[in-house]
Amino acid sequence: MAATFFGEVVKAPCRAGTEEEEEEEEAERETPEDREVRRQLVRKREVRLLRRQTKTSLEVSLLEKYPCSKFIIAIGNNAVAFLSSFVMNSGIWEEVGCAKLWNEWCRTTDAVSLSPTEAFCVFYHLKSNPSVFLCQCSCYVAEDQQYQWLEKVFGSCPKKNMQVTILTCRHITDYKTSESTCSLPSPFLRALKTQNFKDPACCSLLEQPNIVHDLPAAVLSYCQVWRIPAILYLCYTDVMKLDPITVEAFKPVLSSRSLKCLVKNIPQSTEILKKLMTTNEIQSNIYT
């Protein structure tokens, strides 16, 4: 036991090995009630992939059901806003399905009846070329749910002839560098790609010792293991909420091979972005 600065007592980690024995005893002491609670929790945290029209669960994974040559995934509200304003406004995109999940980060407390408007992970395909898929994921997918998400979306035996592009944001204070963060030109882009991705990246590669976290890391690792060409564009920014400067920092990605053919109306995109900003502004008076 150790006392901290504030006088609280914390259990110091013990290397004597007696802790393991205690854990085993605890597991034996688990009651049927505990097991039931555990089962309910697992059910609550299940990731469900639903078809658009019928709202029924898909029996197979999304990419096993639909052929896919290009998969663009936006994770986080700025990346989602970028795809909405710059990619989705040129061409007709049809919603194919959505992934519903609940974890402690969700704003709603009801895990059972998440309404369609709260679908956090929506999948679209381009009507003129149905093998081009897009995913808008604006919710947080917890560590224990990432594997389920990957299984339900990619499946256990994915086809290798597709290319995956992931867009996401991270706060600039996570960027490890010998320079001071005040001198960094925030926001800025960095890329990380799998071994099979042969095209050039639209920005510099992510330097060591920086790492990628959460769902983008899970998707990239999955693609590396299954030898799928994939690239992650990571935008380091000092504004994590919806911000037009952060969204526009993704613009170099529009020159990449996977997105070039999908983008047509850039001036219109800035208008759409402005509209998104005004509709999404959460009234908070904490900061002025």
How many residues line the site for other proteins (CB under 8 A)? 20
Contacts of 142 (CB under 8 A, 6+ apart): 45, 103, 104, 105
| Secondary structure class of 194 (helix, strand, coil) | coil
Interface residue with other proteins among 1, 27, 92, 286 (CB under 8 A) is: 286
Closest-CA residue to 133 (of 61, 30, 194): 61
CA gap 159, 64 in Å, rounded:
8
Q: Which residue type does 49 have? A: L
CB of 274 to other proteins, least distance (A): 7
Interface residue with other proteins among 1, 3, 6, 26 (CB under 8 A) is: 6
For position 13 contacting other proteins by CB under 8 A, the verdict is: no
Instruction: List the x/- string, 264-283, binding to other proteins by CB under 8 A.
Output: ----------x--xx--x-x
CA gap 80, 277 in Å, rounded:
12
CA gap 106, 145 in Å, rounded:
13
Interface residue with other proteins among 91, 130, 155, 244 (CB under 8 A) is: 244
DSSP output for 201-234: PSSPBPPTT----HHHHHHHHHHHHTT--EEEEE
Measured from the CB atom, the residue of 177 and 195 that comes closer to other proteins is 177
CA gap 160, 158 in Å, rounded:
6
Instruction: List the x/- string, 103-142, binding to other proteins by CB under 8 A.
Output: ----------------------------------------
Instruction: List the x/- string, 50-79, binding to other proteins by CB under 8 A.
Output: ------------------------------
Measured from the CB atom, the residue of 246 and 258 that comes closer to other proteins is 246
| Secondary structure class of 236 (helix, strand, coil) | strand
Contacts of 210 (CB under 8 A, 6+ apart): 174, 175, 176, 190
Measured from the CB atom, the residue of 18 and 173 that comes closer to other proteins is 173
Instruction: List the x/- string, 146-185, binding to other proteins by CB under 8 A.
Output: ---------------------------x--------x--x
Interface residue with other proteins among 224, 238, 251, 265 (CB under 8 A) is: 238
Place of tokens 């900061």: 287
Interface residue with other proteins among 42, 225, 245, 266 (CB under 8 A) is: 245
Q: Is the dihedral of CA 92, 95, 99, 102 positive or negative?
A: positive
CB of 269 to other proteins, least distance (A): 16
Interface residue with other proteins among 5, 12, 16, 59 (CB under 8 A) is: 5
Interface with other proteins (CB under 8 A)? 5-6, 173, 182, 185-186, 238-239, 243-245, 274, 277-278, 281, 283, 285-288
